[in-house]
């Protein structure tokens, strides 16, 4: 088994420096820490969690709860979280739970003896699971989700502003008939994107057609079904704002099934700027949210609580978004 002594010998550093770097000691220079982490990965070093826990009274593990790893944005979030956790000296324990609000027992496997804190990437408003974790004293940070019903730190994209940006772009192209594919209202990010969309439409005196707004679960099948119902009619929108890239892919799927040309007959805008959105044969116009920066901020906030730092004056960190204009939007025919 590779030890910290082996890593130190390999890098020509003292064992104490290597140990402090692996613990995430802020006194270690960032360049030295990066060098130590790279050397540890190269040698296959695995920290002795039991020994570290005896010394620090902490597990140096963080639980991450996500809903759906089939969505193209979740693997990006998980990878970004894991990278930052490793830099801060923590391991990641991943829980996939499709509906954490209705099954609080799902997170009970991660008590204070197992993890030092938890990041919820998927949490519905008034989530019983989040409340239970908070009640037992485990530090919690929400990422890309908010829950005003509890006092908890959250790292968010400016979801409301996304609606303004998208409607401004589509109206600028000449669209007046704009539909929306969005999440159920108990998911704060989808709700805020919808509210931003509605407000932007109202400010521009554009009609909001309720039959062109669909609230759906986070599945491709539901997205395709909702888009088909909206588009398979003569009285259909000329543009769709989809509050996730996954919903946008569902809309593109539905348009292809109906023989509707994108963007000549239908413009489609997503949200996330996921990897597939940039593929040449998709080339999706979408709202970019800075996932790595948001993930790093979530980890840093949580690590601060675990390590005894006082919370910041504001519970919420809100990151700006921008529109990436690609090939799925054009002037209406």
The 10s digit of each residue's pLDDT in 134-192 is 888 899 999 998 888 888 999 999 999 999 999 999 999 999 999 999 998 888 889 99
Give me the pLDDT at residue 301, please.
95
Give the number of C-alpha atoms closer than 13 A to the C-alpha of residue 318, restricted to the C-beta side. 10
Per CATH, the number for 159-289 is 3.40.50.2300
What does the longest C-alpha to C-alpha distance in the chain come to?
73
Count of CB atoms within 10 A of residue 132's CB? 15
Question: Is the distance from CB of 278 to CB of 254 less than 8 angstroms?
Answer: no
- Quick one: pLDDT band at residue 112, thresholds 50, 70, 90? low
Cis-peptide into 297, omega within 30 deg: no
Range of weakest confidence among 57-66, 96-105, 163-172, 313-322: 96-105
CB 121 within 8 A of CB 154: no
Q: Where are the alpha helices (DSSP H) in 23-72?
A: 30-43, 49-56
Q: In whole angstroms, what separates CA 171 from the centre of its chain?
A: 28
Q: Which pairing describes strands 117-120 and 140-143: parallel, antiparallel, or unpaired?
A: parallel
Q: What is the pLDDT of residue 53?
A: 47
Determine the pLDDT at residue 101. Answer: 43
State how far the Cα of 124 lies from the Cα of 128, in Å rounded to an integer. Answer: 9
Q: What is the pLDDT of residue 214?
A: 97
Give the pTM.
0.79
Q: How far apart are the first and last CA of the chain?
A: 66
pLDDT of residue 55: 46
Burial of 256-294, coded b for 16+ CB within 10 Å and e otherwise, reads: eeeebebbebbbbbbbbbbebbeeeebebbbbbbbbeeb
pLDDT tens digits, 268-304: 999 999 999 999 999 999 999 999 999 999 999 999 9
Question: What is the structure's pLDDT at 50?
Answer: 46
| Cα 188 to chain centroid, rounded | 12
Establish whether domains 50-155+291-318 and 159-289 are of one fold: yes
Sheet holding 213-216, edge to edge: 213-216, 178-183, 239-242, 267-272, 285-288, 322-324
pLDDT band, very low/low/confident/very high, at 327 (cuts 50, 70, 90): very high
Q: Which of 5-19, 193-207, 243-257, 292-306 has the lowest mean pLDDT?
A: 5-19
**Residue range 213-221: mean pLDDT, rounded:** 92
The residue count for the chain: 333
CATH class of 1-46: mainly alpha
Report the pLDDT value the prediction gives residue 169, as an integer from 0 to 100.
98
Please check the confidence at residue 98 and state whether its pLDDT lies above 60.
no
At residue 128, does pLDDT exceed 80? no
Give the strand order in the sheet containing 316-319. 91-96, 61-66, 117-120, 140-143, 153-157, 316-319
Averaged pLDDT score across all residues of the chain: 88
Q: Is the distance from CB of 10 to CB of 39 less than 8 angstroms?
A: yes
Q: Parallel, antiparallel, or unpaired: how do β-strands 322-324 and 285-288 relate?
A: antiparallel
Are 268 and 242 spatial neighbours (Cβ–Cβ below 8 Å)? yes
Closest CA to 239 of 332, 327, 124: 332
Cα torsion 141, 147, 148, 154 to 10°: value is 30
The predicted structure's pLDDT at residue 97: 65
Q: Provide the CATH number for the domain formed by 50-155+291-318 in this structure.
A: 3.40.50.2300
Encode pLDDT of 36-86 as tens digits.
888 888 888 866 554 554 444 567 899 998 877 778 888 899 999 999 999
Residue spans of the domains in the chain: they are: 1-46, 50-155+291-318, 159-289
Assign residue 90 a region (left: φ > 0; alpha: ψ between -120 and 50; beta: otherwise): beta
Q: What is the pLDDT of residue 54?
A: 43
Residue 15: pLDDT band (50, 70, 90) is confident
């Amino acid at each position: 088994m590779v030890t910290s002594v082996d890593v130190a010998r390999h890098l020509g550093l003292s064992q104490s420096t290597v140990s402090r770097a692996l613990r995430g000691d802020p006194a270690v220079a960032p360049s030295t820490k990066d060098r130590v982490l790279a050397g540890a990965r190269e040698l296959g070093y695995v920290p002795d969690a039991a020994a570290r826990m005896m010394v620090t009274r902490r597990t140096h593990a963080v639980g991450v709860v996500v809903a759906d790893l089939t969505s193209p944005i979740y693997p990006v979030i998980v990878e970004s979280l894991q990278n930052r956790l490793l830099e801060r000296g923590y391991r990641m324990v991943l829980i996939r739970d499709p509906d954490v609000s209705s099954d609080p027992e799902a997170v009970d496997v991660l008590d204070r003896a197992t993890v030092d804190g938890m990041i919820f990437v998927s949490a519905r408003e008034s989530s019983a699971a989040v409340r239970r974790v908070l009640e037992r004293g485990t530090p919690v940070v929400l990422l890309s989700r908010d829950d005003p019903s509890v006092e908890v730190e959250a790292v968010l994209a400016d979801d409301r502003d996304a609606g303004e940006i998208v409607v401004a772009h589509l109206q600028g192209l000449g669209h007046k008939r704009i539909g929306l594919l969005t999440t159920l209202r108990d998911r704060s990010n989808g709700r805020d994107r919808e509210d931003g969309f509605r407000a932007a439409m109202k400010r521009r005196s554009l009609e909001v057609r309720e039959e062109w707004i669909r609230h759906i679960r986070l599945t491709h099948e539901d997205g395709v079904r909702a888009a088909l119902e909206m588009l398979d009619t003569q009285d259909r929108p000329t543009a769709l704002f989809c509050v996730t890239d996954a919903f946008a892919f569902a809309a593109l799927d539905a348009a292809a099934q109906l023989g509707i040309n994108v963007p000549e007959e239908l413009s489609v805008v997503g949200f996330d700027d996921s990897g597939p959105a940039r593929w040449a044969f998709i080339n999706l116009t979408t709202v970019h949210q800075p996932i790595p920066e948001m993930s790093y901020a979530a980890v840093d906030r949580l690590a601060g609580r675990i390590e005894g730092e006082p919370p910041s004056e504001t519970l919420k960190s809100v990151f700006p978004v921008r529109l990436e204009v690609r090939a799925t939007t054009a002037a209406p025919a």
